[in-house]
């Protein structure tokens, strides 16, 4: 079937996590029972695939869309990921409890599972309870040896930086950055299409099956960037309507924040698809052949050959592309 390019909206793949809750219900999703920590909003991975909800491709998984239209729809750069799948994975995370202290490998780590990529990612904080915090990087001067000793002595938290967070904060997390989201935050996550995480510490708590969750101390120490990973953070409350504000720029994605106040005419380019995440507010996405309603929590994939489109309404959005 030869389908003309149009913006794709997806049904998320939800994941129960020991640290999850019910906050993703606020976006109007049909969230399954349990402690739901992750909504895989745009996903093409063996561990989860999101499915189109609108238009001629309704019901098809992103994997099937990739197989049928990938090179044409995803763009000259956006159709190459390193493992043949869609290059990015877009999530919404509900952190009802602290996540494990963790670190991700890069693409070149010898211990990567077969077919997996490394994971560079970023967070945009959608909401945060008062006094919310995250773990973001290491204390100055921490080395592999001093961290290994701290782990052995049960005081790994002494080696980590804990920082306060509030809605609108952005954190860029290159591979090798030790990090952990903590209780009370809901974030949008843009990342390489990978599900590889190495846990350094998990508060000695049981997993959903009642057993202690696996730690990966040696792998974690191997991939941690003790000399620094170029991680960056910023406040984003100065964004003006009709202007893109760059939040993160990596070899894998470039993400910008924009404030929509009325009609904003934009266009895709042949190089890459565009992913739009609506952080707050509501409005529409219009293109030559139609329009879609858009509200907080919605994520859309705009094919590279879509061309001109218009965002209208009152919304805060994130725009991600492959650079």
What is d(CA 95, CA 123) in angstroms, rounded to the nearest whole number? 12
179 assigned binding-site residue:
yes
Lookup: tokens for 22? 């019910």
User: Which is catalytic among the residues 17, 66, 85, 199?
Assistant: 199
9 assigned binding-site residue:
no
DSSP class of residue 79?
Answer: T
For residue 227, what are the contacts with CB-CB under 8 A and spacing of at least 6? none
User: Comparing C-alpha atoms, which of 192, 190, 318 is closest to residue 258?
Assistant: 318
**Residue 246 — left, alpha, or beta (φ > 0 → left; ψ -120 to 50 → alpha)?**
beta
Q: Are strands 101-103 and 274-287 parallel, antiparallel or unpaired?
A: unpaired
Distances (CA, A) of 219 to 139, 193, 244: 20, 20, 38
280 assigned binding-site residue:
no
Lookup: tokens for 29? 């999703």
DSSP run (H or E) holding 245:
strand 244-249
For residue 67, what are the contacts with CB-CB under 8 A and spacing of at least 6? none
What is d(CA 223, CA 211) in angstroms, rounded to the nearest whole number? 26
Q: Is residue 199 among the annotated active site residues?
A: yes
| Secondary structure in 3-state letters for 157-217 | HHHEEEEECCCCCEEEECCCCCEEECCCEEEEEEEECCCCCEEEECCCCECCCCCECCCCH
Binding residue ranges: 104, 121, 179
Active site residues: 199
Binding residue ranges for Zn(2+): 104, 121, 179
């Amino acid at each position: 079937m030869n389908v003309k390019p149009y913006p794709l909206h997806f049904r998320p793949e939800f994941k129960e996590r020991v640290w999850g809750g019910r906050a993703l219900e606020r976006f109007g999703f049909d969230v399954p029972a349990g402690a739901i920590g992750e909504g895989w909003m745009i996903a093409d991975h063996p561990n989860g695939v999101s499915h189109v909800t609108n238009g001629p491709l309704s019901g098809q998984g992103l994997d099937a869309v990739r197989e049928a239209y990938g090179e044409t729809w995803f763009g000259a750069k956006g159709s190459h990921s390193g493992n043949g799948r869609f290059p990015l994975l877009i999530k919404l995370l509900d952190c009802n409890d602290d996540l494990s202290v963790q670190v991700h490998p890069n693409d070149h780590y010898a211990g990567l599972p077969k077919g997996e990529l490394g994971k560079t990612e970023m967070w945009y904080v959608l909401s945060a309870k008062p006094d919310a915090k995250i773990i973001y990087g290491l204390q100055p001067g921490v080395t592999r040896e001093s961290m290994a000793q701290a782990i052995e002595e049960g005081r790994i938290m002494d080696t980590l930086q804990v920082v306060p967070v509030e809605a609108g904060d952005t954190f860029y997390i290159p591979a090798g950055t030790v990090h952990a989201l903590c209780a009370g935050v809901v974030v949008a996550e843009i990342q390489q299409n990978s599900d590889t995480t190495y846990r350094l510490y998990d508060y000695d708590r049981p997993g959903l099956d009642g057993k202690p969750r696996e730690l990966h101390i040696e792998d974690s120490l191997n991939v941690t960037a003790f000399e620094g990973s170029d991680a960056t953070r910023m406040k984003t409350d100065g964004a003006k309507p009709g202007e893109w504000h760059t939040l993160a720029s990596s070899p894998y994605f470039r993400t910008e924040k924009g404030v929509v106040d009325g009609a904003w005419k934009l266009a895709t380019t042949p190089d890459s698809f565009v992913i739009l995440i609506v952080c707050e507010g509501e409005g529409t996405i219009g293109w030559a052949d139609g329009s879609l309603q858009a509200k907080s929590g919605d994520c859309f994939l705009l094919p590279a050959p879509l061309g001109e489109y218009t965002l209208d309404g009152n919304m805060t959005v994130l725009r991600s592309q492959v650079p």
